[in-house]
Amino acid sequence: MKSFTTDGDFAQNYRFLIGAVQPRPIAVVATKNEDGSNNLAPFSFFNGFSAKPFIIGFAPLIRTSTGQKKDTLINIEREKEFVVNFVTEANADQINLASTELAYGEDEFEYTNLTPVQSDLVKACRLKESPIHFECKLRDIVSYGDQPGAGTLITGEVLKIHADESILSDTGRILTSAYKPMGRGAGNDWYSISGILEKERLTKAQIQK
């Protein structure tokens, strides 16, 4: 068994963080730049934390290339709002491209040929090619430091949800097989739903049998 403490090299910590914590869902976060142009970037340090209030969170790390904050964090600190969009098999290549490190103010929607759509309650845009959109208001920013690789946890309250009817069942449930979400694994691995495994949640009575 390989064992180590986490006070050493960033790269080793990072490798084991993304290798162990998988599959990870991906938030495709849209924000407004200072000049009103759009910013878009994927984040797989992402999850949901509360249903009512409806709270999600994700974490941009300080860039290891420049030691600077990512554009998404800079924009959310200023605007206090954002939109979370989602990765599907159809948009994954363009979303991957949206993770390119562009200069601040360069619009990843234009760079990737993705389509911004006006939101209802926030200035940040929704992503047309995503079947689900969460319009979010900032709740918390918790910084874990300013050194390269340090994360900042951003949580947001989802004020409004949009879901394409093509991924919904008659009763309004999201159908995984229609949604075709993609997630992130170790290194450059991605997950798709090549098969769906149904796991029934056992009731207490069933467990006691």
Ligand X SMILES: Cc1cc2nc3c(=O)[nH]c(=O)nc-3n(C[C@H](O)[C@H](O)[C@H](O)COP(=O)(O)O)c2cc1C
Chain residues that interact with ligand X, rule: CB under 6 A: 26, 39, 41-45, 59-61, 70-72, 96, 99, 101, 184
Output 32 or 184, the one with its CB closest to ligand X.
Answer: 184
Minimum distance, C-beta of residue 19 to ligand X, in the bound complex (Å): 14
Output 23 or 168, the one with its CB closest to ligand X.
Answer: 23
Output 73 or 167, the one with its CB closest to ligand X.
Answer: 73
Backbone angles phi, psi at 87, to 5 degrees: -95, 135
Minimum distance, C-beta of residue 26 to ligand X, in the bound complex (Å): 5
User: What is d(CA 86, CA 133) in angstroms, rounded to the nearest whole number?
Assistant: 7
Minimum distance, C-beta of residue 122 to ligand X, in the bound complex (Å): 17
Residues 6+ apart with CB under 8 A from 69: 60, 62, 63, 152
Enter the tokens of residue 86: 């989602």
Give the length of the chain.
209
Minimum distance, C-beta of residue 82 to ligand X, in the bound complex (Å): 10
Return the closest-CA partner of residue 136 out of 119, 156, 116.
156
User: What is d(CA 156, CA 174) in angstroms, rounded to the nearest whole number?
Assistant: 22
Minimum distance, C-beta of residue 99 to ligand X, in the bound complex (Å): 3
Output 60 or 131, the one with its CB closest to ligand X.
Answer: 60
Return the closest-CA partner of residue 192 out of 114, 126, 55, 95.
95
Enter the tokens of residue 205: 């009575």
Output 63 or 139, the one with its CB closest to ligand X.
Answer: 63
